[in-house]
Amino acid sequence: MTPEQASELNRKLCELAPVVPVLVLHDAAKAADLARALIAGGLPALEVTLRTPAALDAIREMAAVPGGVVGAGTLLTPKDVENAKAAGAQFGVSPGATDLLLDACEANELPLLPGAATASEAMALLERGYTVQKFFPAEANGGVPALKAIGAPIPQVKFCPTGGVSLKNAPDYLALSNTLCVGGSWVAPADMVASGDWAGIEALAREAAQLAR
């Protein structure tokens, strides 16, 4: 898979809904129900972060739920890429980007949304062919003003800002011409996942899905 192909696939992914849920799961048994709630609420693209031992099993469970597109976040190494692909991930997300990681995603045909925090990082990824990138950590890097400033000289790159994005500030990011969607964890609060409040999560997803862009 070429960087150009990966970017085209991720552009389509980002256009599915204004918000991509960023999910940290400690119990894979809850994964399918969580996926169904988010999809029913209008958020079909789901990012499961590889931050817990349950993550890969959660991806397997979610991949079997109709209507969803499940990806793996926090990809750091080639082994992460191989494991995510084997678990059924259809896309990958990384906090940054290294040549080893990019090579692995291209070799394993896993479309990567690579992370960039600065203009130089965005330019390096663009030089390789990645025109759709993740802006991370968004709020810590200056938030909306910073992303808007990067977009002025580098309009070819579109972003999914993640990190500190909430229901309150998501509309400001989505109003930017270089933002395709945002990534956020607020649609699946840990306490609601733990208690199995799927109706509540579906309501949060529905609210997020109606954000304008």
Catalytic residue among 30, 61, 85, 134: 134
- Counting DSSP H helices and E strands in the chain, the numbers are 10, 9
Contact 139, 161 (CB under 8 A): no
134 is catalytic: yes
CA distances from 103 to 4, 94, 108, 128, 159 (A): 13, 13, 9, 11, 21
Catalytic residue among 47, 61, 106, 202: 47
Residue 191 DSSP symbol: H
Angle between helices 78-87 and 55-63 (to 10 degrees): 40
47 is catalytic: yes
User: H or E stretch including 48?
Assistant: strand 45-49
In the sheet that holds 132-135, the strands lie side by side as 115-116, 132-135, 158-161
Q: How far apart are the first and last CA of the chain?
A: 29
Instruction: Residue 157: count other Cβ atoms within 10 Å of its Cβ.
Output: 20
Reduced to 3 states (helix: H, G, I; strand: E, B; else coil), residue 119 is helix
Q: Which residues are catalytic?
A: 47, 134
